[in-house]
Amino acid sequence: MEMILKDRFNEKKSVDFKEGSITSIQSNYIKNILKNLSNDYSLIYINNNDLYFLGEDVSDEIELYNRVFDYSLIIDILDILEVDNSFLKRKVDELSHTEKIYLNIIRNLSFDRKIVLFDDVFKYLDYGNQKKIKNLLMYLKERMYVIIITSSDVNVLYKLAEYSVIWYKNFFEYGSCDDLYTNVEKLVKSRIAVPVLPLITYKAKVDKNVKLFYSKDVRDIIKDIYKHV
């Protein structure tokens, strides 16, 4: 899905949201444009801020949302989220907050649309549940969905996304997440949040003349630091 945008100088900006990949966005403007696409039934927008339900039990709720849902897809998702099939018979009122988040994701994904915007879905979840959502993203990726994510935690975006688009004031960049977030100097100059691990690598080089590799995992950077201390 290609998105053509124009900045205030009428200059064209292009973002290519690729099938079977995860793209992160750090731009409220782009997010809002995408969010509006959900009104045209071309995109699924998932946000866990306001969870309102009308159905009595879980399957009621999904049916109210989408009468012609693909049952096998729902079962697959339940499996990935490590939730028993009996979840479908649970009363909505008795669900915990995390289970309500799961229900919100399931009812949204029940639609047959291949572009999904996950808007800060990791926000209310602990590590164990975040891992399950990551597994779900991998499942959707295998099924060639266009997956777009936002997060208030830039470390999550750096670790999870393959491509990234950042638009903040005059700063616009779209490209591979690895390239974008390792160009720390540019991000710092434009006052854009930098993930912790690339920032350590950058500071070590600039302030201490120590050359570390850019890592995505804490364990990798520890090994590298150990060699250089």
Partner 1 sequence: MKNLFYVENLSVGYYDKVILKDITFSVSKDCLTAILCPNNCGKTTLIKTLSGILRKKGGRVSVNNCSLSKRSFKKYILNIGVIFEDLNNQFICDRVIDEIRFPLINLAYRKKDIDFRVKRISKILAIDHLLDKEVFSLSILDKIKLLIAVSVVHLPKFLLVDDIFKFLKVKEQQEIFRIFRILNDEFGISIVFTTSLISSVIDADHIVVLGQGRKVMEGNFDSIIKQDNELAKLGLEIPIMIDLSRKLQFYNLVDTIYYDVDEVVNRLWK
In angstroms, what CA-CA distances link 148 with 20, 56, 82, 140?
Answer: 11, 31, 23, 11
What residues make contact with partner 1 under the rule CB under 8 A? 50, 94, 96-99, 123-130, 152, 155, 196-197, 199-200, 203-204, 207-208, 210, 218-219, 221-222, 225-226, 228-229
Find, among 73, 60, 137, the residue nearest to 106 by Cα. Answer: 73
- Minimum distance from residue 207 beta carbon to partner 1 (Å): 6
Structure tokens at 177: 């997440």
In angstroms, give the least distance from the CB of 168 to partner 1: 17
Nearest approach in angstroms of CB 195 to partner 1 is 8
CB-nearer residue toward partner 1: 186 or 208: 208
CB of 139 to partner 1, least distance (A): 20
Task: State which residue, 66 or 98, has the beta carbon closest to partner 1.
Answer: 98
Cβ proximity to partner 1: between 145 and 202 the closer is: 202
| Of 91 and 186, CB closest to partner 1 | 91
Burial pattern 176-193, b for ≥16 Cβ within 10 A else e, equals: ebbebbbebeebeeeebb
Q: Tell me whether residue 66 or residue 129 sits nearer to partner 1 (CB atom).
A: 129
| Residue (of 107, 39, 57, 49) closest to 78 by Cα position | 107
Q: Note whether 43 and 116 are within 8 A (CB).
A: yes
Closer Cβ to partner 1, 21 or 98, answer by number = 98
Q: What angle do CA 5, 9, 15 make, to 5 degrees?
A: 20
CB 9 within 8 A of CB 23: no
CB closer to partner 1 out of 56 and 112: 56
- Minimal distance in Å, beta carbon 60 to partner 1? 20
Give me the least distance between CB of 71 and partner 1, in Å please.
25
What whole-number distance in Å separates Cα of residue 191 and Cα of residue 194? 9
How far is the C-alpha of 147 from the C-alpha of 127, rounded, in Å? 21
As measured in angstroms, the least distance from the Cβ of 173 to partner 1 is: 22
The phi and psi torsions of 182 (rounded to 5 degrees) equal: -95, -5
